[in-house]
Amino acid sequence: ALKEQMGENVVGGGRPDKAKIVEEWRTAHPEGTPKDCIADTGISKNTVYKWWSVGEAL
C-alpha cells in the first residue's frame, strides 16, 4: 500500500510465492520427501513443512 501511495508500480513484483514453488516441486516429484524438496529448492525447512500439508489433497 505504501509503494502505491508513492507511485511505484507494484503489479506482479515481489518474491515468488513459496507455496506455489513447493506445490510445483511436489507435482514434479510425486515420491519426493520434504527433505528432498528442501535440498532441491533451497527453501527453508520451516517453510517447506508449512506448505507441504497444503498439497496433501493432490
pLDDT digits (tens, 9 = 90+) for 1-55: 666 676 666 666 667 789 999 999 999 999 999 999 999 999 999 999 999 987 6
Q: Does this model's pTM top 0.85? A: no
Supply the pLDDT for residue 1: 60
Supply the pLDDT for residue 32: 96
The alpha carbon of 40 is separated from its chain's Cα centroid by a whole number of angstroms, namely: 13
Supply the pLDDT for residue 9: 64
Q: Counting Cβ atoms within 10 Å, is residue 25 exposed (0-12), middle (13-18) or buried (19+)?
A: buried
Supply the pLDDT for residue 55: 61
Retrieve residue 2's grid coordinates. Answer: 505504501
